Amino acid sequence: MWDYTDKVMEHFRHPRNVGAIENADATGQVGSLVCGDALKLTLKINKETEVIEDAKFETFGCASAIASSSVLTEMIKGKTLSEAAKITNQDIADELGSLPAEKMHCSVMGMEALEAAIESYRQGGKPVVFEQESENIVCHCFNVSEEAIIKAIRTNHLTSVEDVTYFTKAGGACGRCKGEIQKILDKVNSCAVPQPADTEEKPFESLTIVEKIKRIEKVLEEDVRPQLNMDGGNVELIDVSGAVVKVRLLGMCSGCLAADATLKGFIEKTLKEKLDASISVERA
């Protein structure tokens, strides 16, 4: 029997927010019954604030899949879409007090369903199924692409074929792809596989909400916060809608007489220079 935490068992035995929201504003799906796990996440979202007011799930899977889905709905309710988009599979596992290594793919499934749901909202509410956009499928039993394996290795610092199987299920059936998985591991961990060349070339306006948040956070972390920290200030990303970026000034910056100048003259200017000239920064 798996060594589950008390919190995992609690969410498994008494899952929260089970079902589907009628007339949902967003629907994200991931997995399939053929592969053994499937998750459907529906959201009710405040159109004015983009705060997730309700979240429900329907899942087919093991105790870890049910617990991960249940705790995810609790984690995202009350958060804006931008805040929810920052949640990783490790955050889900940590919220449960940990998951057995063999069951980490369940937390990944939750993260992917959330990404699909956010994309669904941005597309007007039409259901979105999380798919691996790749012709290079490594594991045909579970339809896992090389890109998905590389992402899992890099994000979770995986070092063995067994680790990859735990996080992606690749290699967990017939095992014929394990040799290819090992080759990918060797290349990634020896830095032979570069980051996708077109990542930084995609126009800002064409990025998904998740990609925009990651790009903005990178600039804030590397170019903005260090300067603000020198004067006892800081900045927090609150929301992103199109090219409008909403932030909250913290510390000494929050009550500073030059707050507006900091907002427009520094933060907005930096984001325009680093990312896109159409970006506008507002106080949340």
pLDDT tens digits, 95-142: 999 988 888 888 888 998 999 999 999 989 999 987 655 568 888 888
Q: Is 43:117 a contact under the CB 8 Å cutoff? A: yes
How far is it, in rounded angstroms, from Cα 161 to Cα 132? 20
- Name beta bridge partners: 42: 27, 56
CA of 213: how far to CAs of 131, 199, 229, 245, 283, in Å?
Answer: 20, 14, 21, 9, 16
Q: Which residues are catalytic?
A: 35, 106
Contact 108, 20 (CB under 8 A): no
pLDDT digits (tens, 9 = 90+) for 33-58: 444 578 999 999 999 999 999 999 99
**pLDDT confidence bin for 83, thresholds 50/70/90:** very high
8 Å CB contact between 164 and 138: no
C-alpha to C-alpha distances, 195 to 188, 199, 207, nearest whole angstrom = 10, 8, 17
Digit-coded pLDDT (tens) for 188-201: 887 654 555 444 45
* 76 vs 148, residue with greater confidence: 76
114: which 2 tokens?
A: 């959330």
Q: How confident is the model at residue 277 (pLDDT cuts 50, 70, 90)?
A: very high
d(C-alpha 58, C-alpha 70), whole Å: 9
| CA 282 to chain CA centroid, nearest Å | 24
- Kindly list the distances between the CA atom of residue 238 and the CA atoms of 25, 108, 235, 264, 273, in Å, as whole numbers in the listed order: 20, 24, 9, 16, 20
Q: What is the pTM of this model?
A: 0.59
